[in-house]
């Protein structure tokens, strides 16, 4: 096998080869067996599985330049499958199992997939009725081998269905007979500019677009990430997010590059908390909704044990202590120039006075929170959406380093992240190594100075190759000199960190001409324990209103405490007491005192009686699909703005 240096890691299979050479017996994957016990796979074992599976795939006709659909959730076999395809020079076209059948048919057809790997029989049953929409798709591979072929015999006419295990066994026989050289020769043919994946954007603004990412786009991140995230060999990363999405995918390569191990779990409270105890990870990556859920769980626990006041007291002390610590260390964001020596002097005495109380809080409260997360968590990584301020402050108070990052599928994805060694709150950190970020005026395109708000533009080795078969869409977002228009609005600090404030295309223009960024308002509203989702509305209206998905569990508890009678959830959200509670929660958070302008106040709110769902109101990243929401809740929205 080739002896690669970091500079020679131009393709993803090279990343595994490096670790087989340098860390052969380190664990690469922990996955559960049928008894729910985590079983380890070393880098050497994983590489052998990849080579065998690649040999089996090649025997079944997968070749360089092919596009192979991959409809599966996060699991050990997902990674083996993609690495094996990349060994052969094929690109994957991934999606999660929660995707709608029509969406999958569109992606597999438009993505020119002749074959597709499916997690299980349910995905096959979902796709077969739409086979007319995918005439080129003639081979399915099922990761979960067993299914009743007889049940589908008519629908399967002309289509091959193969099993993952069968292909693996076939590959083992080939490798035993011919050796690994034929597959390693295929790896050697791979180039950095080869397309590794075509990820279709989640369609928050309409029809999905296929983002073409090359190996070079993707491998830039793991090579430079160690200096940013502080990860090292032997780390354990609990992995819970959808792996088809670019954030979780990048995290997995980042973990593996530094010889870390991936422990596969699920973003379901009970399962994840049990796995945190079992695996005691050093890193956990999640979207803000999961961090919010963990925080809410701590507060629920405290309420059940009558300790809410103590928790609030120590969280406030911890947050203040952290704030003064940040001032002392120069970690306060400089949106305007600050005098660091003065910050140091102002913060020193309060910091020293609060330290014993912070220590007491750690002994009585925070230690238990850390133990709930396994007790060894070195850092928490948040991405995929903006992290609400209250959640950020909570984890800072507890003493867990929160590294908020930012990126887009089109940028492979990481554009900026807080450094482990210098996490500056209220920001998404400085630009990622090798990436440039400029803030430009939304109208003139002029590059703005620190502290001035505008649109983020990015340039560097991670910018996509373009949208698949959509050159006109590509030219709208990437300039001739390589600058990508993110469509996000933000500003830079005087030290170079970036803060996001909203999306250019989400901007609401009120009837009076005022421009409003809904995202910061929505994040602030969601700080309330009684509110799960808030969608701010008001385009071409006189005022702002909000569509609210309450926390059903918490409003039911409130109703019980306050003797509010109701029949069901639908009747509960219509009671005057609950409506008043929600409007009060909103008004307390969004007002001039909390930093919002008068016209950013929420004048009216409407409560919905069922949760938002991924694939409907929410994209897989948990972003709001605003076009869907405005259609689906037309009646409620028109009621909000009725005179």
pLDDT in tens, 54-109: 999 999 999 999 999 999 999 999 999 999 999 999 999 999 998 889 989 999 99
pTM: 0.84
- Model confidence at 16: pLDDT above 80: yes
- 623 CB neighbour count, 10 Å cutoff: 19
In terms of Cβ atoms closer than 10 Å to its own Cβ (0-12, 13-18, 19+), residue 123 is buried
- 98 CB neighbour count, 10 Å cutoff: 11
Q: Angle formed by the axes of helices 164-178 and 43-59, to 10°?
A: 100
Q: Are strands 67-71 and 454-459 parallel, antiparallel or unpaired?
A: unpaired
* Mean pLDDT value across residues 329-356: 96
Query: Is the distance from CB of 536 to CB of 508 less than 8 angstroms?
Result: yes
Residue 202 is predicted with a pLDDT of 60
* Mean pLDDT value across residues 371-390: 90
- Model confidence at 187: pLDDT above 80: yes
**Burial per residue of 21-33, b for 16 or more beta-carbon CB atoms within 10 angstroms, e otherwise:** eebeebbbbbbbe
Q: Would you place residue 206 in the very low, low, confident or very high pLDDT band (cuts 50, 70, 90)? A: low
- Select the more confidently predicted residue: 283 or 622: 283
Cis status, amide bond into 431, omega within 30 of 0? no
Q: Would you place residue 319 in the very low, low, confident or very high pLDDT band (cuts 50, 70, 90)? A: very high
- Model confidence at 6: pLDDT above 60: no
Q: Find the helix or strand (DSSP H, E) in which 390 lies.
A: helix 389-398
Query: Is the distance from CB of 429 to CB of 404 less than 8 angstroms?
Result: yes
What is the rounded distance in angstroms from the CA atom of residue 17 to the CA atom of residue 24?
9
Residue 504 is predicted with a pLDDT of 74
Q: pLDDT tens across 510-530, in order?
A: 877 787 889 889 999 999 999
Q: Are strands 27-32 and 38-42 parallel, antiparallel or unpaired?
A: antiparallel
Report the helix count and the strand count for the chain, using DSSP H and E: 23, 25
- Model confidence at 499: pLDDT above 70: yes
DSSP state of 624: B
Report H helices in 490-547: 518-525
């Amino acid at each position: 096998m080739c002896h690669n240096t970091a500079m020679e890691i131009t393709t993803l299979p090279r990343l595994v080869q490096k670790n087989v050479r340098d860390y052969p017996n380190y664990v690469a994957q922990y996955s559960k067996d049928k008894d729910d016990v985590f079983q380890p796979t070393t880098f050497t074992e994983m590489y052998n599985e990849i080579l065998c599976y690649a040999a089996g795939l090649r025997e079944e006709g997968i070749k360089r330049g092919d596009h192979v659909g991959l409809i599966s959730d996060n699991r050990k076999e997902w990674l083996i499958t993609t690495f094996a395809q990349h060994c052969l020079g094929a690109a994957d076209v991934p999606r999660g199992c929660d995707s709608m059948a029509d969406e999958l048919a569109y992606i597999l057809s438009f993505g020119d997939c002749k074959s597709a790997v499916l997690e299980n029989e349910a995905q096959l049953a979902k796709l077969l009725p739409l086979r007319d929409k995918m005439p080129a798709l003639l081979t399915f591979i099922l990761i979960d081998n067993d299914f009743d072929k007889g049940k589908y015999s008519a629908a399967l006419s002309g289509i091959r269905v193969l099993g993952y295990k069968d292909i693996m066994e076939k590959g083992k026989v080939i490798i035993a007979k011919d050796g690994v050289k034929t597959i390693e020769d295929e790896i050697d043919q791979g180039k950095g500019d080869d397309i590794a994946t075509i990820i279709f954007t989640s369609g928050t603004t309409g029809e999905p677009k296929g983002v073409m990412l090359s190996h070079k786009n993707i491998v830039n991140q793991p090579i430079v990430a160690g200096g940013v995230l502080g990860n090292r060999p032997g780390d354990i990363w609990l992995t819970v997010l959808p792996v088809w999405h670019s954030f979780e995918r990048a995290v997995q390569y980042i973990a593996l590059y530094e010889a870390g191990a991936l422990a596969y779990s699920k973003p379901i409270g009970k399962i994840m908390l049990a796995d945190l105890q079992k695996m005691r990870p050093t890193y956990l990556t999640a979207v803000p909704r999961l961090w919010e859920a963990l925080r809410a769980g701590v507060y629920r626990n405290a309420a059940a044990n009558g300790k809410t006041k103590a928790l609030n007291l120590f969280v406030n002390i911890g947050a203040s202590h952290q704030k003064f610590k940040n001032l002392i260390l120069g970690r306060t964001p400089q949106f305007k120039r600050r005098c660091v020596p003065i910050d140091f002097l102002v913060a020193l005495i309060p910091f020293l006075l609060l330290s014993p109380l912070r220590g007491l809080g750690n002994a009585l409260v925070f230690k238990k929170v850390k133990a709930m997360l396994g007790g060894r968590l070195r850092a928490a990584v948040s991405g995929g959406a903006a992290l609400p301020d209250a959640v950020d402050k909570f984890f800072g108070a507890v003493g867990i380093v929160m590294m908020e990052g930012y990126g887009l599928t089109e940028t492979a994805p990481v554009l900026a992240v807080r450094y482990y060694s210098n996490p500056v709150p209220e920001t998404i950190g400085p630009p990622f190594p090798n990436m440039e970020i400029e803030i430009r005026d939304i109208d003139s395109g002029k590059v703005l100075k620190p502290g001035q708000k505008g649109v983020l533009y990015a340039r560097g080795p991670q910018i996509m190759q373009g949208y698949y078969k959509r050159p006109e869409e590509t030219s709208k977002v990437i300039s001739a000199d390589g600058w990508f228009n993110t469509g996000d609005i933000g500003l830079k600090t005087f030290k170079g960190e970036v803060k996001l404030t909203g999306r250019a295309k989400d901007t609401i223009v009120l009837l009076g001409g005022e421009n409003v960024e809904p995202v910061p308002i929505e994040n602030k509203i969601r700080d309330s324990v009684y509110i799960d989702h808030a969608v701010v509305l008001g385009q071409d209206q006189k005022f702002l209103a909000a569509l609210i998905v309450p926390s059903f569990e918490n409003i039911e508890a409130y109703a019980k405490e306050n003797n509010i009678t109701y029949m069901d959830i639908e009747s509960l959200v219509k009671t005057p007491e609950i409506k008043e509670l929600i409007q009060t929660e909103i008004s307390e958070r969004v007002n001039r005192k909390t930093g919002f302008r008068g016209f950013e106040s929420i004048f009216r709110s409407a409560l919905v009686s069922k949760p938002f769902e991924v694939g409907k109101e929410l994209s897989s990243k948990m972003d709001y699909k605003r076009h869907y929401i405005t259609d689906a809740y037309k009646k409620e929205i028109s009621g909000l703005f009725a005179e």
